[in-house]
Amino acid sequence: MTLWPSLLPPSQHGDDELCAVSAEGVRVRFADGRELLCGTSGLWNTNLGYGNPVIAQASADALLKASYLTVFRYENSYARAAAEALVEVCGGEHYGKVLFSTSGGAANDLVMKLARHYHALRGDTARTLVCGLRGSYHGLTFGSFALTGEDLGQRLYGVDQRLVRHVTPNDPAELATLMERQGSRIAAVVVEPVLGSGAVPLSEEFLAELIRLRERYGFLLVADEVATGFGRTGSFFASQRWASRPDLLVTSKGLTNGTSAASAVVVSRRVAEVFTAADAMLSHGETQAGTPVTCAAILATIDEMRRLDAVAAGRRLSARLDTELAALVAEDPHVESVTGLGCFRAVRLRRPDGSPLPQAEVPEVVTAIRRAGALVHPGVNGFQLIPALTYSEEDLAELLACVRAGLAAHSGASR
């Protein structure tokens, strides 16, 4: 096979069981002939399900009318309109500018450059450190890979982490200690409202301390909402429920309902005004950022989120998940706990002796659930459930039935 897929060992390359051929609604068809229920929204992408005709038509129209236009030393009308729509949905009283990028990882690279440049414009060139959380995931490009707090081989690949610091999530004391020691050097603190790998929500206590320390030390607070944005956790963006808004907000995945390689960094008015006052040009640009097709998809996705009342639908689905997952924990001795928020959940498993399921066994569990009829995402000591906001009650019942069947098959095979 000539295709080298991401995050699969060569022994699994060319397997028709893993080769998708089409998708519609909340189902994906594979080259082996099976049609499976999607419990992952692709990769947190398809919050509205696959094949939304309005988004597809908007993308097609943009390709026919504008083909390729750039925001690299130019502007285009599609990007202008998408930026306006994003500021409006994020909160125009706080946010003022939008920078387009092509992925969550690239956007986090951009965030680190923007934060350091911001402080330099204010005469504070010592602020070069960026802080993230242990166990976090911000991407695999070199900058975002350095920021990612999960050990995914950074040392092997020569990723330079000398200007990055990590603290334990939901440990306000450790965060405060870092600031006491190095707060004058920290340009930004980047957090996922719900840590992507473990589906761990940030606690109110941790967020309160983070906001307090921002006021004291002057770093930029960045919400990486690549996974949590567009209704995934009960509001359009998770950080809209914080006591104080972040300085920068990163969005991708659900931004185009998974149809385009697109991301955006939404910038607060306070930060943007520093660049405006100095007429300072930020040294960043990407060939495929802010193109007509991606921006048309962004505009159509925002419109469809509103038309379908998707955020409210996601809240209703979340309430049903609460009930179903509580029952799963109660009835299955192999299920240790459930973490997460909204339609972003993780199921943690244990062995019969009570020890956490080893990470090496997680792919076996994911495979068993897939063979029972549903796609789930690997997680920490278990798997994640990331259903589309548009799931019906029947879809959710089917997903949980497949999970139960897969867990039973795995526990039976491992006896």
pLDDT tens digit string along 354-389?
999 999 999 999 999 999 999 999 999 999 999 999
Q: Residue 1 has what pLDDT?
A: 82
- In the predicted model, what is the mean pLDDT of the chain? 97
Question: What mean pLDDT do residues 400-415 have?
Answer: 89
| Residue 343 contacts residue 227 (beta carbons within 8 Å) | no
pLDDT at 413 over 90: no
pLDDT at 228 over 70: yes
236 phi/psi in degrees, rounded to 5:
-55, -45
Q: Residue 412 has what pLDDT?
A: 76
Domain 53-307 has CATH 3.40.640.10: yes
Q: Is 13 exposed, middle or buried (0-12, 13-18, 19+ CB in 10 A)?
A: middle
What is the maximum alpha-carbon separation in the chain?
Answer: 67
pLDDT at 414 over 80: no
Q: Is the pTM of this model over 0.85?
A: yes
Q: Residue 415 has what pLDDT?
A: 58
pLDDT at 82 over 80: yes
Q: Topology of 309-413 in CATH?
A: Aspartate Aminotransferase, domain 1 (3.90.1150)
pLDDT tens digit string along 15-67?
999 999 999 999 999 999 999 999 999 999 999 999 999 999 999 999 999 99
Angle 359-145-358 (CA atoms, 0-180°, nearest 5)?
5
Strand order in the sheet with 35-38: 20-24, 27-30, 35-38, 374-375
Question: What mean pLDDT do residues 146-172 have?
Answer: 97
d(CA 250, CA 228): 10
pLDDT tens digit string along 96-135?
999 999 999 999 999 999 999 999 999 999 999 999 999 9
Q: Residue 411 has what pLDDT?
A: 84
| Residue 292 contacts residue 67 (beta carbons within 8 Å) | yes
| Residue 117 contacts residue 123 (beta carbons within 8 Å) | no
Are β-strands 35-38 and 27-30 bridged in parallel, bridged antiparallel, or unpaired? antiparallel
**Token pair for residue 168?**
């334990």
Domain ranges of the chain: 53-307, 309-413
pLDDT at 268 over 80: yes
Q: Residue 293 has what pLDDT?
A: 98
130 phi/psi in degrees, rounded to 5:
-125, 135
pLDDT tens digit string along 187-202?
999 999 999 888 999 9
Q: Residue 87 has what pLDDT?
A: 98
**Token pair for residue 239?**
């950080």
The proportion of the chain whose per-residue pLDDT surpasses 70, expressed as a percent, equals 99
| Residue 255 contacts residue 230 (beta carbons within 8 Å) | yes
Over 260-305, what HEC string results? CCCEEEEEEHHHHHHHHHHCCCCCCCCCCCCCHHHHHHHHHHHHHH
